[in-house]
A and B are shown apart, each in its own frame.
Chain A
């Protein structure tokens, strides 16, 4: 354990069990959508801290920019203009990794140690181990990870594991001007959420509530929503997210079958991996599958 500053709970594609005697407090980030002004300070702080500079894009006729998550934009604001009972609401949601307690990305990941879950709940990608296959994308119920066109590796929010490891809050949390993003233990964040939900109910949002979806074991990024009964209002936040059936399929009966059926493909892949580097694996396979699909 000497090499890590955060205890590890799980590693992708690794059978060696993680050590488990230490007790580490679970952390969480709470995003109170009802006090978010959509200023994008979190987007900027994220890029600044993580040394990322996305493209200078263009305006697509909306405030959203960049318009979607990318390998260099690990969080984006999503704006929805909704009319509720004749009253206009501008629902602005900070989108990014939810740090699921039961992370679909990690379960789907075939590259040993490319995705880890720390004992505090953070799910982190380690690009040096990433083979660029993109299965984390499939595995994610929130459509978060993005493959980089530059290095064909998957990227997403790390919850600033480097800051958290030294006792600091993530960059987006620290910068948030209105305090709409907060960080602490998961218990603390639930308490904060309770207080906010009570306030929102007093202000007429009868369905205000916490978004901490059980289908993924709960998340270490939670939302306070004014309309918790309809998360889809917030630019398609999934109502009841769960890990893709494909990941369960793999974990269940498919693996032994695959071992036989796809041995050739896998060995081929490995050959490519060794000689040409990791990105070729997925590309070759993807191309093959595209052809199959086209039939």
Chain B
């Protein structure tokens, strides 16, 4: 979330699309209800199903799964055609005025630079025109045909209401009504917020779904505003924190891009990641990358990290390719992996194509499960009848199951979706011999360390040199770890403006990431958490919920990263002169000497408006990107069909079969054959969560099992009639990868859509069942889903694929 949960109450218009906040985040959704009750806000829901969110909406429109970019591109077209945009904001705070390379093109579904064989783009034309000083060239009139604004206008002019409706199945009048409601928030003192979740990410165009809405929010001037922003409603309680700690291959803690084979030494690595400003006077905050990275190295290697050894640069593994969860299972399936750990992760249930995942696990030498619960994955080798048809005798994998503690049995911090880090306290011991996650990992590491110390082995240095300053080595205290994450001075840290002045004496905790240095004098496990445990103590444990402004900022409750800032890009809530666009909801303002207001400024505190320092400080150009070359499939989002589509062509590119689905999405060899076609699987399926359950956990909790005990699928009345299925009947749902059986819920809430001249039925499939649990046993829904993901994030396409359905 660029904003935070309580801030939803400050909105004038809430859109729930690509998510179902009422169902997946009920307690956060309360702030939407508050906006409705107290601000007279309106709620729009766009979803293939009339959801629980829709039940309390002011306006609902159906949409075919996987056609969101067509819808949102249509909104962009509407806003530009009707000139319903926040002009000053767009002109100054986005790259609308920036001139793009003359070679950049879009034709027939492809952007310039496409390589069909590699299924990827060469991006050499996706860039700004630079002047002789290396700065991007701009045209403040926005009239130059090569400026982003004009290119964008041209790109989305194809997204007419007719084509939008034909592609999405959303009735044209409903689409236009929503456009009208959205357009009203182009007024500087009106804001719209968007609540999305996995309904946007779990597509082969997932990242671009979100980007299209981000572009809309920029055009409307809603970023940085109270009640605005782009709000990803994230999944797990600490999914934000674990993402921030970067337990994935692409990055190191604090989103520091991980070294690859191309980064032959520390110097090369740092140079590539330390950008130069693309416009004069901009903060270009990523220029501080070396400080963050060096401080991480010092946190990990301590005195063993020296200038001479590149602070231990060689000890860090270099990445040679993709290691996302689908790539991991692909490698495992190919027999390239020997060992695997599942820490609080149940991939047999939660990863696409269960059969492939099960087959892959059976090729491992050892599998370690660290979990509080008996997960389905932990028994992938056990025969559970048709729910899990395997022969244990033929599975040679050694499986270890280690009992972990739950939240109630551990002390530590979680980071919520609004980036607020909050401390919690242990209430009781876990059952039996269960242990905390920290203790389990520490125990394993100390075993290995002892083995390497005693017997030697390959590359023992990073293991033996890893800092381990914990008072009980086998059980580091969460307090010690959070202090390490937050950072401290190893030597005296001096004021850059006055080299004689010590701002942090050696040994003290830093107050924030601004005090980190690249000379080895500071250590910080995660720069974005810098200052969360300062000399003032554990700020994440603060419990002052005072809200003097009524905006819900509660600046003294916990600690929000970065720097306790509650609304990101908040400088953009003011005009160029530093006056709030909406004084009723002042987040920030220029006081004449400094930025002040009701949040921590997302700006150098003394940057006077005349200096022209723009609000988007994390980009080298200082402005937000309507044109974004970082994305894999194009700098402007374009509609592509899901990999399993009920249509035989992309309505936007009927003449180019290669542009039917995302041309830059990765497809593994063999998986292409596992896709089904509309001939055999005529119905669109989409998977989702129900409010009564949390993923594959609460099937182990009786109270939740009681409220939703048995697996079901939802179909509309038309399809039910066509297939002779009545509510309560048992049905079999098949995809090209397998089948599930479940009870049919027949509902008015799923409508047949009219798409490109044909009727499209949607089958809704909740995810929560499996062969372990206290609910009635059920099939793993991901038996059905395809093994293909978003071209940028590799998140699987769980939300749009093809099935057939029949009475079981």
Contact = CB atoms under 8 A, between A and B. Distances in A.
Any A–B CB pair closer than 8 Å? yes
Interface residues of B, number: 46
Given A53-B703, A56-B774, A59-B709, A37 B747 contact: no
A40 B690 CA distance: 11
Interface string B769-796: 0000011100000000000000000000
A83 B748 contact: yes
Residue of B34, B36, B692, B749 with highest tally of chain A CB at under 10 A: B692
A61 B728 contact: yes
B81 interface: no
B702 A58 contact: no
Interface in A51-90: 53-63, 65-66, 73, 81, 83, 88-90
A89 to B, nearest CB: 8
Contacts of A54: 706
Contact of A90 (B50, B726, B729, B774): B50
A35 interface: yes
Contacts of A65: 692, 706-709
B41 to A, nearest CB: 11
B50 A39 contact: no
Interface string A180-201: 1000000000000001100100
Interface stretch (A41-49, A101-109, A268-276): A41-49
A155 to B, nearest CB: 16
A217 interface: no
Contacts of B745: 59, 61-63
A259 to B, nearest CB: 45
A66 B54 contact: no
A44 B712 CA distance: 20
Given A37-B22, A90-B55, A179-B33, A59 B692 contact: no
Contacts of A35: 33, 36-37, 56
Contact of B26 (A62, A88, A177): A177
A148 interface: no
A36 B706 CA distance: 20
B706 A90 contact: no
B23 A37 contact: yes
A120 interface: no
Contacts of B54: 90
B149 interface: no
Contacts of A48: 703
Contacts of B708: 40, 59, 65
B401 to A, nearest CB: 25
Contacts of A196: 37
B691 interface: yes
Contacts of A37: 22-23, 26, 29, 52-53, 55-56, 691
A119 B30 CA distance: 33
Contact of B749 (A39, A81, A202): A81
A127 to B, nearest CB: 21
A41 B704 CA distance: 10
B702 A44 contact: no
A39 B746 contact: no
A178 B710 contact: no
A80 to B, nearest CB: 10
B58 interface: yes
Contact of B729 (A34, A61, A73, A180): A61
A38 interface: yes
B320 to A, nearest CB: 46
B743 A58 contact: yes
Contacts of A59: 708-712, 728, 743, 745
A88 B60 contact: yes
Contacts of B709: 56-59, 65
A281 interface: no
A55 B706 contact: yes
Interface in B13-44: 22-23, 26-27, 29-30, 33-34, 36-37, 40
A233 to B, nearest CB: 14
A55 B702 CA distance: 9
Contacts of B463: none
A291 interface: no
B704 A177 contact: no
A203 interface: yes
Given A59-B711, A61-B745, A65-B708, A39 B726 contact: no
B45 to A, nearest CB: 11
A92 interface: yes
Given A35-B33, A56-B775, A58-B743, A92 B55 contact: yes
A60 B728 contact: yes
B26 A41 contact: yes
B749 A90 contact: yes
B744 A61 contact: yes
Interface in A90-139: 90, 92
Contacts of A58: 709-710, 743, 776
Interface string B361-401: 00000000000000000000000000000000000000000
A247 B11 CA distance: 52
Contacts of A44: 703-704, 706-707
Contacts of B453: none
Interface in B48-79: 50, 52-56, 58, 60
Given A56-B702, A56-B709, A81 B56 contact: no
14 contacts: A37-B29, A37-B53, A39-B23, A39-B691, A44-B703, A53-B703, A57-B706, A59-B728, A90-B54, A92-B55, A178-B29, A179-B34, A195-B37, A203-B58
Which 7 pairs from chain A and chain B are nearest by CB? A61-B727, A61-B728, A177-B26, A59-B710, A90-B55, A37-B22, A59-B743
Interface of B: 22-23, 26-27, 29-30, 33-34, 36-37, 40, 50, 52-56, 58, 60, 691-692, 702-712, 726-729, 743-749, 774-776
Given A81-B748, A178-B56, A199-B37, 12 more contacts: A35-B37, A37-B53, A38-B691, A41-B26, A48-B703, A56-B702, A58-B776, A61-B712, A62-B745, A81-B747, A88-B50, A178-B30
